[in-house]
Structure 1
Amino acid sequence: MSRRLTRADLDALPSYVPGRNPADLARELGLTEAIKLASNEVPYGPLPGVPEAILEAATQVHRYPDMGVLALRETLAARLDVGIERIATGCGSVALCEHLLKAATVPGDEVVFSWRSFEAYPIIAATAGVTAVKVPNKADHGHDLDAMAAAVTDKTRVVFVCNPNNPTGTSVRRDELAAFIDRVGPEVLVILDEAYREFVTDDEVPDGLTEFGDRPNVVVVRTFSKAWGLAGLRAGYLVAQPEVADAVRKVVTPFSTNACVQAAALAALRAEDEMERRAALVISERTRLTEELRKFVPDVPESQANFVWLPLAERSVEFGKHCESRGVIVRPFPGDGVRVTVGTPEENDTFLKVAAEAGL
């Protein structure tokens, strides 16, 4: 028998599930268009100045980009009031989480995270050769920090705290997060995944960088894919203590923050006021969606992200198929719930009509 060419343990690893292409669904159903509310994108197009910055950068794509990403890192450092040596960039926040595991773990180590949480965590844990320790969410669909702290062992090297949590939208409050970090101790790297930070309105949900950025074992990871409107280009950054950020920069794929990404991210940062205006629209619609959906599903949790969570358990896949059959793409998680991205008011109206027809 010939020896296989790939790792056998990857056979059991689930693939990351992207949102379905709405154009494909529209053709399948014979519709003019379909609505995609599955991937947590912001629906209002690129921020002003971004397309122009991409076009200008595109004239130089025969050259390698700045591998040090200095202009973007300098801009972020000034905006966040941290040293540039504390910032690393990558191909979205998920890539940075992957690089952090590469930098902080070896095969046989453990990584702890809440479940259900970001679906990439178990995938990147497996590819890094570390053991994923999944701690069930509480009844309110949020992190059980006490149980997560209790799950930390001598083998634990990394803990992920997704705040707000994807896909449930729930959040960890300031005091409980501080107590958790204290309990975990300084020997474990605590990664605060704040991909949805710009949509937070609850004052009790802490800014991880402001509140805990001075701690040597805390890393704050953020992205340009959501509120900043660069999902199609993939750009993220982390802020950590210099030795951690330096280790990440060593394992990042060279030139992975490409020239168009760097130019687009800088342009997006210059349009911060418009980003905040658009985020406010999303937040307003999030409130409306939550109120309307609670008429069908009373235990819809409060979301601090740009999506809402329907805890439909075994009905999740059926509801997802119902929505797709009517031209609305949502994201079911079998056995758990359905995540619905906040779209435009018109898209949300259509979804609410479709949801009402489902007889929840």
Structure 2
Amino acid sequence: MSQLHSTAHSPSWAMLNRLVPGAQDDRQDPYRVVAVPQVDRIDFCIPCNPYFPTPEMFARMQGSLESILKYYPSDADTVTAELCSVLGLNQQTVAMGNGSTELITWIDHLLVRESLAIPVPTFGRWTDQPLETGKRVDMFLLHEEHDFALDPQEYVRFIRRRGSRVAVICNPNNPDGGFLRRHQMLWLLDELADLDLVVVDESFIDFVDGERAPSVADEAALRPNVIVLKSLGKNFGLHGIRFGYLVANPALAGTVRRALPKWNLNSFAESVVFMLKEYALEYRQSLALLARDRANMSLALAAVPGLTVFLSQGNFLLVKLPDGVDGAELRDRLLTEHGVFVRECGNKLGSSSQFLRLVVRPHEDVQRLLDGLQSCLPAGPTALSRQTSRGAHAALPQALAPAQ
């Protein structure tokens, strides 16, 4: 059986594909992996969009592979200008990075001086990055009994008590998919207008179907202390390319942009950005398909005995395992016995190994996950599906949602 020992994050897809059946890696690595079978694996770990890019886009990139790899990309300003043209943004309010993690790093180095408040559990770089540079990180615990929902008023009170100078909100949040509506986010931005900085990480905002226009990026361009972060890799299913961007007022955006290397974006990122106008319809269709799959997958998991399923507006679902089931051991069995790769949340601050984050995938992939869970989990009571404080209709496609 495989043993994946993680100190930071799940092993990469490339690492899994390098493993040899029956071989053991005895090096002192963060991961030690034993006997992972060479089967067609299904990835429920990395939160990619399974419907985008289209096969035609991949074919075009494949046809241009030699020139993409052989030659330098254009400078970041050229690529950013094209992205702003596609998205209707003012270029002076945008800085593009080699993945959202690069932008988080520069935000921390340039704009976080003393302390940062962040709800947990959440994306680990928002806690790890400032801790690595000696900042105080004030962690606001999200409670399971409240479905990990963020209470904006309680969060503001917490920030005032701690005296935090920077606040971060991931919307939707990772790993639970919790979501604050636009009017709630605007209230938060107003209440925190005196802070040095408020960062809204909207890496998964495009997957929201509970509100037509949930982003606050337009507000960030006008406010003096707000940055909105976007992750194109997550939206477009291209984590390997490493590209993302932030939106802020020209002064803030310029501060980050001037710190970035001139050629921090690669040729793959450039080729995708310059194809986006042609495939806008296909991208919107991919989001509709994913919303449908999220609703269906949530219902299917809720039928597995012993699972608690939390409603999500991301492209993933958080599930709690039955008492006595260790997520790390279950992850290993799912990978070795069923070829299913899942994200166990034991290394997320504020979470535990009793939780899995499962990426939304099409029905035929979900069936293998269900078969694996039913094989590995003990028989137990009917599963619970959390459909209370976030509203049961929030995860359903608009056509299926009940009238308001």
Q: TM class, shorter-chain normalised?
A: 0.7 to 0.9
- Superimposed CA distance per residue, residues 231-262 of structure 1 (whole angstroms, 9 cap, x where no aligned partner): 11111011110011111112224422122321
2:331 to 314, 320, 333: 320
Distance 1:19 1:344 in 2: 21
State yes or no: 1:100 paired with 2:96.
Answer: no
The alpha-carbon deviation at position 185 of structure 1 amounts to 2.2
Letter in 1 for 2:373: A
Question: Across the two proteins, how many residue pairs are aligned to each other?
Answer: 345
Query: Which amino acid is the alignment partner of residue 94 of structure 2?
Result: I
Distance 1:41 1:53 in 2: 18
Q: Is the 8 A contact 2:297 2:363 kept in 1?
A: no
Displacement, 1:338?
Answer: 0.5
Q: Deviation of residue 200 (structure 1)?
A: 0.7
Aligned to 1:221: 229
Alignment partner, residue 304 of structure 1: 313
Deviates more, 1:306-315 or 1:282-291: 306-315
1:42 and 1:188 map into 2 onto residues whose CA distance is 34
Tell whether the 8 Å contact from 2:48 to 2:236 is kept in structure 1 after alignment.
no
The Cα of 1:131 is off from its aligned counterpart by: 1.7
Between 1:272-281 and 1:42-51, the stretch displaced more is 42-51
Q: Offset of 1:86 from its aligned partner?
A: 0.6
Whether 1:111 and 2:116 are equivalent positions in the alignment is: yes
Residue 87 of structure 1 and its aligned partner are, at CA, apart by 0.7
- Structure 1 equivalent of residue 392 of structure 2: none
Q: Distance in 1 between matches of 2:295 and 2:243?
A: 28
Q: CA, structure 1 residues 150+57, in 2 after alignment: closer, same or farther (shift >3 Å)?
A: farther
Instruction: Tell me the distance in 2 between the aligned counterparts of 1:24 and 1:15.
Output: 19
Of 325-334 and 144-153, the range deviating more from structure 2: 144-153
Alignment of 1:91-240 (within 5 A): 91-106=98-113, 109-138=114-143, 139-152=146-159, 156-203=164-211, 206-210=214-218, 213-240=221-248
Given that 1:202 and 1:304 are in contact with CA atoms closer than 8 Å, whether structure 2 keeps it comes out as yes
Tell me which of 349, 352, 359 is aligned to 2:367: 349
TM-score scaled by length of structure 2: 0.77
Q: Are the aligned partners of 2:298 and 2:311 in contact in 1 as well (CA < 8 Å)?
A: yes
After the TM superposition, which segments of 4 or more aligned residues of structure 1 sit over 6 Å from their partners? none
Bigger mean CA deviation after superposition, 261-270 or 90-99: 261-270
Kindly report the root-mean-square deviation, in angstroms, between the aligned alpha carbons of the 2 structures: 2.7
| Deviation per residue, 1:172-203 (Å, 9 max, x gap) | 12332222222222333111111112211001
Query: Matched residue of 2:166: which SS?
Result: strand
Quote the Cα distance in structure 2 between the aligned partners of 1:300 and 1:290. 7
For residues 198 and 11 of structure 2, the distance between their equivalents in structure 1, rounded to whole angstroms, comes to 27
Change (3 A) 1:149 1:205: farther
Match 1:261 to one of 269, 274, 281: 269
Secondary structure (helix, strand or coil) at the match of 2:118 reads strand
Task: Name the CA distance, whole Å, in 2 between partners of 1:61 and 1:333.
Answer: 36
Residues 69 and 51 (structure 1 numbering): CA distance in 2 closer, same or farther, change over 3 Å? farther
Residues 1:34 and 2:41 aligned together: yes
Mind listing any 5+ residue stretches in structure 2 that lack a counterpart? Answer: 1-6, 22-34, 347-351, 381-404
The secondary structure found in structure 2 opposite 1:134 is strand
| 2:355 aligned with 1:337 | yes
Structure 1 gap ranges (5+):
1-13
C-alpha deviation, 1:17, in angstroms: 3.5
